[in-house]
Amino acid sequence: MSERYVDVPGGRLAVHDFGAGPAVVLLHAGIVDSWAWEPLTPFLLDAGYRVVAFDRRGTGGSTTGDLEFSNRADTIAVLDALELRQAALVGNSIGGQVALDTAIEFPARVAALVTIGSIVPNWWPGMTAEEEAVEAELERVADSGDPDAIAEADVRAWVDGPGQPPDRVPEDMRELVRAMDRAVNEPGRVEGRPVPMEPPAAERLDRLSMPVLAVCGDLDFSYHVASAEYLATNAPDGQAHIMPGVAHLVGLEAPEELGALVSRFLGPLPRWS
């Protein structure tokens, strides 16, 4: 493994680079940093892929000024710094949104796209009443600014899954996410101001020239399940896979199953570099 920093306008990205072969770039969820991909990485390496993961601005080892920036341009900057003409993008939650937007804005740079528990920006299927109550509690706790309380609420919603018991997943996984979540919500952390893509993804899905796999756990919020199915239906070459018995952080909860799924999806494609 090599670790390096990639300079971007107004910031610096911490990048982890493993193995050799066609590159798979992993984009993490909002409540964690790139080390959330550690359980998945060995399965992709064993399948013959080079695995690249980086911390989004303001998380993990990455920094930023308080300025506007493009997450899509940051992703391309990582590819450029590693001299990658193309990569497969795999993104969880907000990382899936970034991967989707990057694939739309820079389709020639993306060999394949995998979203996991993500939405399609500007398309909204709604929530159940129970999910609205969970979201309202998340917003209430977020307004408190207490990193410990925020981490606990996020674990209940995103690790356990809405309405699921707190002993559904091992406690060590819950504590790992708590630790990353606390760091993400540390007071004084500078996040910068990501600029949304315009027009938004929902209006431009026809630009997805690469194969698309939309993954979601069936214990995730229902709008994520609906979004996976919507993306698969509306991408020119899309498919969905709803994984039973898992929630939002699929790469942590079911890394072997996810690794096999991604490898089967990527395996028949022409090799990229």
Contact at 8 Å (CB) between 128 and 104? no
The span from the CA of 209 to the CA of 189, in Å, is: 37
pLDDT, tens digit (0-9, with 9 covering 90-100), for 69-95: 999 999 999 999 999 999 999 999 999
Q: What is the pLDDT of residue 2?
A: 86
Please compute the mean of the pLDDT values over residues 126-134 and round it to a whole number. Answer: 96
Provide the residue type at 196 as one letter. Answer: P
Buried b (16+ CB within 10 A) or exposed e, 152-185: bbbbbbbbbbbeeeeeebeeeebebbbebbbebb
Please state the pTM of the whole predicted model.
0.97
pLDDT, tens digit (0-9, with 9 covering 90-100), for 165-185: 999 999 999 999 999 999 999
Mention every residue, 6+ apart, whose C-beta is less than 8 A from residue 115.
Answer: 91, 96, 97, 99, 100, 212, 213, 214, 215, 228, 231
Q: Which domains does the chain have, with CATH numbers?
A: 2-125+189-266 (3.40.50.1820), 129-184 (no CATH)
Provide the residue type at 148 as one letter. Answer: D
pLDDT, tens digit (0-9, with 9 covering 90-100), for 229-254: 999 999 999 999 999 999 999 999 99
pLDDT surpassing 80 at residue 1: no
Q: What is the pLDDT of residue 237?
A: 98
Q: Which of 67, 8, 3 is nearest to 34 (CA)?
A: 3
